[in-house]
């Protein structure tokens, strides 16, 4: 079998995915087999929400048909089976990201995971001040003089929770800027991350620029300063091999709906020794050991952060999605998407009046491309493409500061996944080439 050389993030050559295999994969995704505005659907919006294969749909349906019951609460047959598949799903996801079972917490999405973490850290200060909990909580508490560092390319979900944490605690929020090419100014990072840094939070792969950030280098800078390192893996976990232990991050988040699973399910990874001492975010049933009328004692992670009835069917479906990706091969998926991404960027760069954000053709990126069409608003571009059966994302992509830095208010973004073919990309490029003429720009 032929092999392809992949970007530097991959350590070995992998078997090539090709259009014939991708067309077979597409048959697993019912929603893709439809016509939109009289033309076959080209779905290039997986960076926002991916589609679901039959195996994932059936996994959730089978749970409701055969095992629907509350977990961790009943002794009857259905409750036991529901608990087993729920916790089996947790182990599947832990294995998927190279974590331990106890370090894998269910959330509704990555946004909830980041808010959980930011509120737990602000509660750490309250608990420490009252002498409550582990004595190490004082080391995690933030206050005036402390700093939280993010980057200029962050999605709002990995920016606003840290803004609010700074507001609640009196800490200062700083950021690592980007250069004109979109890459982080790593030459400035060492001067920004320092002794006052308590949290360093950054994206693994930009949802606008397509850039893959140097996680290990940033994590080393953060840990050298004694900071907690938080990784937004929303655009990496679905697309490339991810091992949180090898990346040496303290926390990581990602969402199921971007990796073939349903909405309403996400994951927070955290090092167990940190999770077990952090105060909980939500409180109630299922996360306690003892409750009196005056106070409560809490379970260790992961149950410590899973109050109330959980997202059981969604967790089961997320495990099925992880299995689908693992069986296909994330290294192969990453290589194929990188090829599609290069095809998109090279094609867009050849069209007059198009400005592509992020790395130029030939430079490493994930399989997405955000671009500006001179003289045409992004929403008009999106509607034009939709009229030709092509689904893309328009707007600021929940990254207003990044767009502002680049002198833009909105862009159009095409994002590929394992079910897209080169023909999808070519149809997209052909349509984009007609935009300015259509609008007489």
Residue 65's CB is within 10 A of a number of other CB atoms, namely 9
DSSP for 147-214? EEEEETT--GGGTHHHHHHHHHHT-EEEEE-B-TTS-B-HHHHHHHS-TTEEEEEEESB-TTT--B--
**CB count, 10 Å around CB of 8?**
7
- Minimal CA–CA distance to 106: which of 309, 268, 218? 268
Please give the Cα distance from 112 to 107 (Å, whole number): 6
- 157: β partners: none
Lateral strand order in the sheet of 354-356: 354-356, 368-373, 411-415, 393-395
Question: How deeply is 48 buried, as exposed, middle or buried, from its count of CB atoms within 10 A (0-12, 13-18, 19+)?
Answer: middle
Could you give the CA distance from residue 311 to residue 306 in angstroms, rounded to a whole number?
10
- Say how far apart CA 335 and CA 423 lie, in whole Å: 17
343's enclosing H/E stretch is helix 330-349
**Catalytic-residue membership of 234:** no
Catalytic residue among 299, 398, 408, 433: 398
Structure tokens at 194: 């320092």
Residue position matching structure tokens 């050991």: 289
Tell me which H or E stretch contains 273: helix 272-275
Half-sphere exposure of 353 (CA within 13 A, CB side): 15
Cβ atoms within 10 A of the Cβ of 29, count? Answer: 20
Residue carrying the six token digits 């182990």? 91
Residue linked to tokens 């232990």:
245
CA atoms of 373 and 367, how far apart (whole Å): 19
- Which are the catalytic amino acids? 398
């Amino acid at each position: 079998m032929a092999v392809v050389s992949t970007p530097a993030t991959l350590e070995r050559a992998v078997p090539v995915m090709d259009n014939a295999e991708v067309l077979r994969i597409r048959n697993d995704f019912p929603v893709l087999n439809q016509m939109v505005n009289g033309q076959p659907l080209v779905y290039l919006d997986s960076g926002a929400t991916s589609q679901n294969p039959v195996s994932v749909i059936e996994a959730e349906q089978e749970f409701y048909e055969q095992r629907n019951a509350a977990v961790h609460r009943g002794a009857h047959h259905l409750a036991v089976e529901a608990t087993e598949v729920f916790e089996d799903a947790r182990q599947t996801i832990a294995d998927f990201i190279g974590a331990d079972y106890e370090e894998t917490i269910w959330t509704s999405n990555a946004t909830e995971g980041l808010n959980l973490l930011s509120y737990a850290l602000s509660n750490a200060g309250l608990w420490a001040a009252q002498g409550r909990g582990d004595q190490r909580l004082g080391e995690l508490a933030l206050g005036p003089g402390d700093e939280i560092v993010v980057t200029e390319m962050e999605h709002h979900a990995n920016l606003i929770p840290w803004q609010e944490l700074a507001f609640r605690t009196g800490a200062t929020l700083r950021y690592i800027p980007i250069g004109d090419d979109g890459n982080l100014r790593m030459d400035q990072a060492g001067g920004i991350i320092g002794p006052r840094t308590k949290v360093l939070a950054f994206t693994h792969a930009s949802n606008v620029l397509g850039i893959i950030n140097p996680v290990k280098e940033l994590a080393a800078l953060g840990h050298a300063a004694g900071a907690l390192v938080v990784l937004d893996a929303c655009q990496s976990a679905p697309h490339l091999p991810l091992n949180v232990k090898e990346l040496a991050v303290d926390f990581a988040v990602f969402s199921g709906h971007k990796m073939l699973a349903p909405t309403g399910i996400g994951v927070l990874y955290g090092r167990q020794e940190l999770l077990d001492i952090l105060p909980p975010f939500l409180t109630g049933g299922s996360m306690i050991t003892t409750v009196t009328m005056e106070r409560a004692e809490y379970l260790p992670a992961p149950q410590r952060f899973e109050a109330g009835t959980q997202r059981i069917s969604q967790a089961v479906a997320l495990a099925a999605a992880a299995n689908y990706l693992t069986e296909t091969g994330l290294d192969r998926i990453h290589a194929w998407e990188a090829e599609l991404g290069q095809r998109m960027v090279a094609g867009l760069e050849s069209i007059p009046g198009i400005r592509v954000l992020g790395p130029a053709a030939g430079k490493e990126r994930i399989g997405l491309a955000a671009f500006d069409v001179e003289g045409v608003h992004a929403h008009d571009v999106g509607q034009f493409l939709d009229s030709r059966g092509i689904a893309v994302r328009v707007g600021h992509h929940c990254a207003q500061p990044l767009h502002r830095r680049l002198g833009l208010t909105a862009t159009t973004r095409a994002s590929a996944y394992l079910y897209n073919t080169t023909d999808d990309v070519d149809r997209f490029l052909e349509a984009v080439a007609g935009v300015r003429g259509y609008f007489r720009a």
